[in-house]
Structure 1
Amino acid sequence: MAFNFSTEQDLVKEALEVFNKEFIGQVPEIAACAPGRVNLIGDHTDYNDGFVFPMALPLLTVIVGKKNDTDKCVVVTEAKDADKPMKVEFSVPTKETLAPGKPKWANYIKGVVQYFRGTVVGFNAVIVTSVPIGGGLSSSAALEVSVYTFLEALTGETGTMKKDKALLCQKAEHEFANMPCGIMDQFISVMGQSGTALLIDCRSMQETAIPISDPELAVIITNSNVKRSLASSAYAERLEQCQSAAKTLGKSSLRDASENDVEGLREKHPLLYKRAKHVVTENSRTEQAAEALKQGDLKTFGELMTASHESLKTDYEVSCTELDELVAAALEVDGVLGSRMTGGGFGGCTVTLAPKTIADKVIENMKKKYKGKPTFYITEPCEGARVLTLPE
Structure 2
Amino acid sequence: MATDIPKVEDLLKKACVSYEERFGTKPEVVGCAPGRVNLIGEHTDYNEGFVFPMALPQVTLVVGRKVAGDVCRVVTLAEVNETGEVEFNVPAPETPLQPGSPKWANYVKGVVANFKGEKVAFNAVIITSVPIGGGVSSSASIEVATYTFLEGITGTFGQVDKKDKALACQKAEHEFPGMPCGIMDQFISVMGEKDNALLIDCRSIESRLVAMKDPNVVVLVTNSNVKHELTGTEYPTRRRQCELTAKMINKKSLREANEDDLKGMSSYQGHGQNCRDDYEVSCPELDQLVKAALEVDGVYGSRMTGGGFGGCTVTLVKKSEVEKVMEHVQKSYTGKATFYVCAAAEGARLISI
Q: Partner residue of 1:85?
A: 83
Residues 45, 51 of structure 2: 8 Å contact kept: yes
Kindly indicate whether residue 124 of structure 2 is the aligned counterpart of residue 125 of structure 1: yes
- Aligned: 1:111 with 2:74: no
Residue 20 of structure 2 corresponds to 20
Letter in 2 for 1:193: E
* Backbone CA RMSD of aligned residues: 1.1
User: Deviations along 1:242-293, whole A, 9 cap, x unmatched?
Assistant: 1111111110100011122111xx1xxxxxx22xx44xx7xxxxxxxxxxxx
* Deviation digits for residues 177-198 of structure 1 (CA, Å, limit 9, x no counterpart): 0101101000000000110111
Measure the CA separation in 2 of the matches of 1:113 and 1:32.
14
CA distance in 1, matches of 2:10, 2:216: 27
SS of residue matched to 2:262: helix
Match of 2:323 in 1: 360
Q: 1:378 aligns with which of 332, 341, 353?
A: 341
* 8 Å CA contact retained: 1:225, 1:347: yes
AA aligned opposite 1:88: V
Matched with 1:242 is 242
Amino acid at match of 1:207: S
Residues of 1 paired with 2:231 and 2:117: CA distance? 30
Q: Secondary structure at the match of 1:16?
A: helix
- The secondary structure found in structure 1 opposite 2:72 is strand
Structure number with the higher helix fraction is 1
Provide the C-alpha distance between the structure 2 equivalents of 1:133 and 1:202, rounded to a whole number of angstroms.
25
Equivalenced residue count is 351
Counterpart among 285, 288, 291 of residue 328 in structure 1: 291
- 2:171 is paired with a residue of what secondary structure? helix
| CA distance in 2: counterparts of 1:160 and 1:232, whole angstroms | 32
What pairs up with 1:294-305 in 2 under 5 angstroms? none
Q: Give the match for residue 143 of structure 2.
A: 144
Which residue number in structure 2 is paired with residue 53 of structure 1? Answer: 52
Q: What is the aligned partner in structure 1 of residue 67 from structure 2?
A: 68
Q: How does 1:1-392 map to 2 (within 5 A)?
A: 1-24=1-24, 26-80=25-79, 82-94=80-92, 96-158=95-157, 159-263=159-263, 266=264, 273-274=265-266, 277-278=267-268, 307-390=270-353
Paired residue secondary structure (2:14): helix
Structure 2 letter corresponding to 1:314:
D
Say if 2:54 and 2:197, in contact at 8 Å, map to a contact too: yes
TM-score, normalization by structure 1 = 0.88
Q: Is the 8 A contact 2:54 2:345 kept in 1?
A: yes
Once the two structures are TM-superposed, the CA of residue 308 in structure 1 deviates from its matched residue by 4.1
- Is the CA contact 2:177–2:231 (under 8 Å) kept in the aligned structure 1? no
Under a length normalisation based on structure 2, what TM-score does the superposition of the two structures give? 0.97
Q: CA deviation at 1:232?
A: 2.2
In the TM superposition, what is the alpha-carbon distance from 1:83 to its structure 2 partner?
A: 3.3
- Check whether the contact 1:41–1:308 (CA below 8 A) recurs between aligned residues: no
Q: Which amino acid aligns with 2:209?
A: A
Cα distance in 2 for residues equivalent to 1:364 and 1:350:
15
Q: Which moved more, 1:90-99 or 1:29-38?
A: 90-99
Q: How far apart, CA to CA, are the structure 1 residues paired with 2:104 and 2:352? A: 26
Q: Measure, in 2, the Cα distance between the counterparts of 1:29 and 1:215.
A: 38
Report the AA paired with residue 330 of structure 1: A
Aligned in 2, Cα 1:141/1:309: closer, same or farther, shift over 3 Å? farther
Q: Answer yes or no: is the 8 Å Cα contact 1:309–1:339 preserved in 2.
A: no
- TM-fit CA distance, 1:96: 2.4
CA distance in 2, matches of 1:333, 1:260: 37
Whole-angstrom distance in 2 between the partners of 1:338 and 1:126: 38
C-alpha displacement of 1:309:
4.6
1:81-124 CA-to-partner distances (Å, cap 9, x unmatched) read: x2321011110013721000000000010000011001121111
2: CA distance, partners of 1:152 / 1:225: 34
Give, in whole Å, the separation in 1 of the partners of 2:170 and 2:17: 31
**Structure 2 CA distance, aligned partners of 1:198 and 1:118?**
27
Structure 2, gaps ≥5 residues long: none
Runs of 4+ in 1 over 6 A off after TM superposition: none
SS at match of 2:64: strand
Give the secondary structure class of the aligned counterpart of 1:100: coil
d(CA) in 1 for partners of 2:223 and 2:271? 18
| Secondary structure of the corresponding residue to residue 350 of structure 2 | strand
Cα distance in 1 between the residues matched to 2:255 and 2:272: 20
Please, which runs of 5 or more residues in structure 1 have no aligned partner?
267-272, 282-306
